[in-house]
Structure 1
Amino acid sequence: MEFLLKQISQLAIKLGDVTFTDEQIKSDWLGNAPASATEIKLAEDRLGVELPQDYKDFLLVTNGFSAPNDIEPTFEHVSNIDFLKNIDSDLINIWSEVELVEIGKELAKSIVIAGINEEQYFLLIPPDSAGEKWKYWKFASWHPGEHPYRNLESYFRSVSHFIRDMVSKG
């Protein structure tokens, strides 16, 4: 994961689609210092869930990650993540209309790990029962709706490919 995030950082800085800090440019890194095991455990206790291992591995590399372009969301510090119902309950209500009720159910239990106060979110959706897997969604009303990923690495791989394509066209 660390190599992939470093690659995204370098490509995004090279592309220059958004403004980065002098420190980010100098270090070629859009991440923060790693989270501690204690910080992760505090978030899990606060949310009442055990977060998926790949997300915890991400946090142990970087406790938050700046948006690499104007399309992707900014990944939050672990102390800021929360259930979508506590951040944007109106969105859940809108997507809980009769024809959208299944999406609304998923949103109601989702945890926002990226995009707070931005145009789209990256969500972790806990499984309903043992044996089920966590779901990973990038979600925006303008998208429209959910864009699922197999896991966190598949999301970051898609970001890397997109930015690489933009750099090669640029």
Structure 2
Amino acid sequence: MNSLLKQISKKAVELADFEFTQEQTENIWLGTKPVSETEIKLTEKRLGIEFPTDYKQFLSITNGFSAPNDIEPTFEPINKIDFLKNIDSFIIEAYSIDGIENIGNQLEQSIIVGGINQEQYFLLIPPNSTNEKWKYWKFANWYPGEEEHKDLESYFKEVLNFMNKQIETE
């Protein structure tokens, strides 16, 4: 995953579609310092869950990751991670109406790891009695419904592929 994040950082700086800090541009890195195992365990305890392995791996590489463009969310530092219901209860309410209440139920359980105060979120949805695996959603009102990913790596690969296509068309 480290290599993938470095490639995304390089492409983002190369495309220059977004404003990055001087440090990000000079280092060609959209991440920050890694999170300690203790910080991960404390956050898991605070939330009452155990993060999926790939998300813990991500945190061991970087404590947050800036959005590479205006359609992807910024991955938040570990101290900002929380249940979506504690950050944006309105969106859960909006998606809890008849016909789409399943989305509302999943949003109710979700943990927001990216996109706080942005137009799109990246959510981790813990396993439950009907779903044995973690779900990975990019979710935005401007996008029709959730965009589900198999795991974090598949999400970041998709981001990189999109950026590569942008470079090809320029």
Q: TM-score, normalised by structure 2?
A: 0.98
Structure 1: gaps (5+ residues): none
- AA aligned to 1:95 is Y
SS of the aligned residue for 1:99 comes to: coil
Deviation at 1:169, TM superposition (A): 1.2
Deviation at 1:168, TM superposition (A): 1.6
Question: What CA distance in whole angstroms lies between the structure 2 residues aligned with 1:79 and 1:38?
Answer: 12
Question: What CA distance in whole angstroms lies between the structure 2 residues aligned with 1:90 and 1:131?
Answer: 25
Deviation string, structure 1 residues 31-81 (Cα, Å, up to 9, x no partner): 000001011111100000001000000000001000000110000001110
* Shift in CA distance, 130/148, structure 1 to aligned 2, threshold 3 Å: closer
Matches within 5 A, 1:53-72: 53-72=53-72
SS of the aligned residue for 2:91 comes to: helix
Which position in structure 1 is the counterpart of 2:105? 105
Deviation at 1:141, TM superposition (A): 1.0
Q: Would you say 1:20 and 2:40 are equivalent positions?
A: no
- AA aligned to 1:28 is I
Question: What CA distance in whole angstroms lies between the structure 2 residues aligned with 1:22 and 1:13?
Answer: 11
Q: TM-score, normalised by structure 1?
A: 0.98
- AA aligned to 2:158 is S
SS of the aligned residue for 2:3 comes to: helix
SS of the aligned residue for 2:101 comes to: helix
* Shift in CA distance, 43/130, structure 1 to aligned 2, threshold 3 Å: farther
Matches within 5 A, 1:1-170: 1-129=1-129, 132-170=132-170
Deviation string, structure 1 residues 66-110 (Cα, Å, up to 9, x no partner): 000011000000111000000000000000001111111100000
Question: What CA distance in whole angstroms lies between the structure 2 residues aligned with 1:23 and 1:4?
Answer: 20
SS of the aligned residue for 2:54 comes to: helix
Question: What CA distance in whole angstroms lies between the structure 2 residues aligned with 1:7 and 1:131?
Answer: 32
SS of the aligned residue for 2:100 comes to: helix
Aligned length: 170
- AA aligned to 2:111 is I
- AA aligned to 2:46 is R
Deviation at 1:28, TM superposition (A): 0.7
Question: What CA distance in whole angstroms lies between the structure 2 residues aligned with 1:144 and 1:132?
Answer: 25
Q: Percent identity?
A: 58
RMSD across aligned C-alpha pairs, in angstroms? 1.1
Q: Runs in 1 of length 4+ with deviation above 4 angstroms?
A: none
